Structure 1
Amino acid sequence: MAHVVVLGAGLGGAIMAYELKDSLRKEDTVTVVTKDAKYHFVPSNPWIAVGWRKREEITVDLAPAMAKRKINFIPVAAERLHPDKNRIELVDGQSVTYDYLVIATGPDLAFDEVPGLGPHGGFTQSVCHIDHAEKAEQAFQALLKNPGPVIIGAAQGASCFGPAYEFLFILETALRRAKIRDKVPMIFVTPEPYIGHLGLDGVGDTKGLLESEMRGKTIKWMTSTRIKKVEDGKMTVEEVGEDGVAKPEKVLPFAYSMLLPAFRGIKPVSGIEGLSNPRGFTIVDQYQQNPKFKNIFAVGVCVAIPPLAPTPVPCGVPKTGFMIESMVTATSHNIANLVRGAEPDQVGTWNAICLADFGDGGIAFVAQPQIPPRNVNWSASGKWVHLAKVGFEKYFMRKLRQGKSEPFYESLALKVLGIDKLKETKKG
Structure 2
Amino acid sequence: MKKAVIVVLGAGLGGISMVFDLKAEVGKNHQIVLVNKAESFQFTPSNPWVGVGWREKNDITIELAPLMAKHGIDFIQASAKKLVPEANKIEMEDGSSVDYDYLIIATGPELAFDEIEGFGPEGHTQSVCTVDHAVQANAAFEAFCADPGPIVVGAAQGASCFGPAYEYAMILDKELRNRKIRDKVPMTFVTSEPYIGHLGLGGVGDTKGMLEHEMRQRSVRWITNAKVEKVEATTMTVSEHNDDGSEKTRHQLDFKYSMMLPAFRGIAAVRDIEGLVNPRGFIIIDKHQRNPKYPNIFGVGVAIAIAPTEKTPVPTGVPKTGYMIESMVAATAKNIGALLDGGEPKEEATWNAFCLADFGDRGVAFLAQPQNPPRNINWAAEGMWVHLAKVAFEKYFMHKVRKGITETYYENAVMKLLAMHKLK
Match of 2:110 among 108, 111, 120: 108
Q: Which residue of 2 aligns with 1:36?
A: 38
The whole-number CA distance in structure 1 between the counterparts of 2:245 and 2:380 is 30
Shift in Å, 1:410: 1.1
Secondary structure of the structure 1 residue equivalent to 2:22: helix
**Count of residues in correspondence between the two structures:** 422
- Paired residues of 2:241 and 2:249 also in contact (CA < 8 A): no
Shift in Å, 1:414: 1.6
Shift in Å, 1:389: 0.4
- Paired residues of 1:46 and 1:167 also in contact (CA < 8 A): yes
Shift in Å, 1:370: 0.5
Q: Which residue of 1 aligns with 2:369?
A: 368
The whole-number CA distance in structure 1 between the counterparts of 2:420 and 2:86 is 44
Shift in Å, 1:243: 1.6
The whole-number CA distance in structure 2 between the counterparts of 1:313 and 1:221 is 15
The whole-number CA distance in structure 1 between the counterparts of 2:422 and 2:100 is 35
Secondary structure of the structure 1 residue equivalent to 2:134: helix
Secondary structure of the structure 2 residue equivalent to 1:252: strand
Secondary structure of the structure 2 residue equivalent to 1:286: coil
Q: Which residue of 2 aligns with 1:233?
A: 234
- Paired residues of 2:47 and 2:134 also in contact (CA < 8 A): yes
Secondary structure of the structure 2 residue equivalent to 1:182: helix
Secondary structure of the structure 1 residue equivalent to 2:269: helix
The whole-number CA distance in structure 2 between the counterparts of 1:223 and 1:135 is 27
- Paired residues of 1:192 and 1:198 also in contact (CA < 8 A): yes
- Paired residues of 1:3 and 1:28 also in contact (CA < 8 A): yes
Q: Which residue of 2 aligns with 1:67?
A: 69
The whole-number CA distance in structure 1 between the counterparts of 2:262 and 2:279 is 17
Q: Which residue of 1 aligns with 2:382?
A: 381
Deviations 1:2-47 (A, max 9, x none): 1110001110001100000111152211001110111111111111
Shift in Å, 1:58: 0.7
Q: Which residue of 2 aligns with 1:156?
A: 157
1:203-214 equivalent positions in 2, closer than 5 A: 203-214=204-215
- Paired residues of 1:413 and 1:420 also in contact (CA < 8 A): no
Distance 1:417 1:316, change over 3 A: same
1:14 and 2:36 matched: no
Shift in Å, 1:421: 12
Q: Which residue of 2 aligns with 1:345?
A: 346
1:130-279 equivalent positions in 2, closer than 5 A: 130-279=131-280
Amino acid at match of 2:55: R
The more displaced of 198-207 and 141-150 is 141-150
The whole-number CA distance in structure 2 between the counterparts of 1:166 and 1:314 is 21
Give 5+ residue unaligned stretches, structure 2: none
1:327 and 2:347 matched: no
- Paired residues of 1:68 and 1:403 also in contact (CA < 8 A): no
- Paired residues of 1:349 and 1:422 also in contact (CA < 8 A): no
Distance 1:84 1:137, change over 3 A: same
Amino acid at match of 1:14: I
Shift in Å, 1:139: 1.1
The whole-number CA distance in structure 2 between the counterparts of 1:419 and 1:362 is 17
Q: Which residue of 1 aligns with 2:293?
A: 292
Secondary structure of the structure 2 residue equivalent to 1:278: coil
Q: Which residue of 1 aligns with 2:308?
A: 307
Secondary structure of the structure 1 residue equivalent to 2:272: coil
TM-score using structure 2 length? 0.98
The whole-number CA distance in structure 1 between the counterparts of 2:368 and 2:315 is 22
Shift in Å, 1:274: 0.3
- Paired residues of 1:156 and 1:313 also in contact (CA < 8 A): yes
Amino acid at match of 2:270: V
- Paired residues of 1:277 and 1:304 also in contact (CA < 8 A): yes
Secondary structure of the structure 2 residue equivalent to 1:236: strand
Q: Which residue of 2 aligns with 1:426?
A: none
Q: Which residue of 1 aligns with 2:60?
A: 58
- Paired residues of 2:283 and 2:304 also in contact (CA < 8 A): yes
Amino acid at match of 2:65: A
Deviations 1:178-218 (A, max 9, x none): 00001100110000000000000000000000000111111
The more displaced of 412-421 and 372-381 is 412-421
Amino acid at match of 1:125: Q
1:95 and 2:97 matched: yes
Amino acid at match of 1:43: P
Secondary structure of the structure 1 residue equivalent to 2:419: coil
The more displaced of 66-75 and 257-266 is 66-75
Give 5+ residue unaligned stretches, structure 1: 424-428
Shift in Å, 1:416: 4.2
The whole-number CA distance in structure 2 between the counterparts of 1:23 and 1:144 is 50
Shift in Å, 1:419: 7.2
The whole-number CA distance in structure 2 between the counterparts of 1:95 and 1:228 is 40
Q: Which residue of 2 aligns with 1:85?
A: 87
- Paired residues of 1:149 and 1:255 also in contact (CA < 8 A): yes
- Paired residues of 1:156 and 1:261 also in contact (CA < 8 A): yes
- Provide runs of 4+ in structure 1 moved above 3 Å: 419-423
The whole-number CA distance in structure 1 between the counterparts of 2:236 and 2:82 is 36
Shift in Å, 1:248: 3.1
TM-score using structure 1 length? 0.97
The whole-number CA distance in structure 2 between the counterparts of 1:418 and 1:200 is 24
Shift in Å, 1:175: 0.3
Amino acid at match of 2:87: K
The whole-number CA distance in structure 1 between the counterparts of 2:288 and 2:423 is 18
Secondary structure of the structure 2 residue equivalent to 1:226: strand
- Paired residues of 2:239 and 2:247 also in contact (CA < 8 A): yes
The more displaced of 155-164 and 56-65 is 56-65
The whole-number CA distance in structure 1 between the counterparts of 2:353 and 2:187 is 29
Amino acid at match of 1:123: H
